[in-house]
Structure 1
Amino acid sequence: MDWISLVLAGCFEVVGVSGINKVNRSKTVASYSTLIIGFILSFFFLSYAMKTISMGTAYAVWTGIGTVGSALLGMIVYGESKEWKRILFISMVLCAAVGLKLMA
């Protein structure tokens, strides 16, 4: 259950980052709500996961999911660069997060 919570924390991190992008585009209640709710839920699930997962591992996986998820969201939804080098390095971040899971 702790690893599921950690994955949820990473997913809500992506929601929070998406909220930042929405606030930059238009300062509406919905934009701010997405930002605030995304980060609150992200920190809630992260703190729950850290009850049994070590701090270093949990933080690395959480930021990895947030980084990869945000980069993919930017490429798919917001038309950001899909250059092969960018995809390669995003893949490396993902592999590192999976490696930490396998070592824990």
Structure 2
Amino acid sequence: MAWVYLILAGIFEMVGVAMINKLHRDRNWQALVLLLAGFGASFLFLALAMETLPMGTAYAVWTGIGASGGAILGMVWYGESKEWRRVLFIAVVLSAAIGLKLIS
């Protein structure tokens, strides 16, 4: 169950990051509420995952999901660069997260 919590934490981290961008663009209270809710849920699920998983593994996977997911959301929703090298290195980050899961 800890890995499910960790994946949820990463997904909510992505929501929080996307809402930072939305708040920067729109300056509305809905984006602020979603930003706070996204990061709050992210930390809650990270804490639940860390009850079982080692801190280093949980934090590395959480940041990997959040960083990669944020970059992918930027490409899909906000027209950021989709250059092949950028996609390659996002895949490297995700591969490292999967590798940590396989050895834990």
Q: Aligned residue for 2:90?
A: 90
* TM score, norm. by length of structure 2: 0.98
1:11-30 to 2 correspondences below 5 Å: 11-30=11-30
Structure 1 spans left out of the alignment, 5+ residues: none
Aligned length: 104
CA deviation profile, 1:58-77 (whole Å, cap 9, x unmatched): 00000000011101100011
Distance of 2:28 and 2:81 partners within structure 1: 27
Deviation at 1:26, TM superposition (A): 1.4
Q: Aligned residue for 2:74?
A: 74
Indicate if the aligned counterparts of 1:49 and 1:58 stay in contact, CA closer than 8 A: yes
Structure 2 spans left out of the alignment, 5+ residues: none
Runs of 4+ in structure 1 over 6 Å off: none
Distance of 1:80 and 1:26 partners within structure 2: 18
Deviation at 1:29, TM superposition (A): 1.1
CA RMSD of aligned residues (A): 0.5
> After the TM superposition, which of the residue ranges 48-57 and 21-30 deviates more from structure 2?
21-30
- Identical positions, percent: 59
Indicate if the aligned counterparts of 1:5 and 1:46 stay in contact, CA closer than 8 A: yes
Q: Aligned residue for 2:59?
A: 59
* TM score, norm. by length of structure 1: 0.98
Equivalent position SS for 1:74: helix
Indicate if the aligned counterparts of 1:18 and 1:34 stay in contact, CA closer than 8 A: no
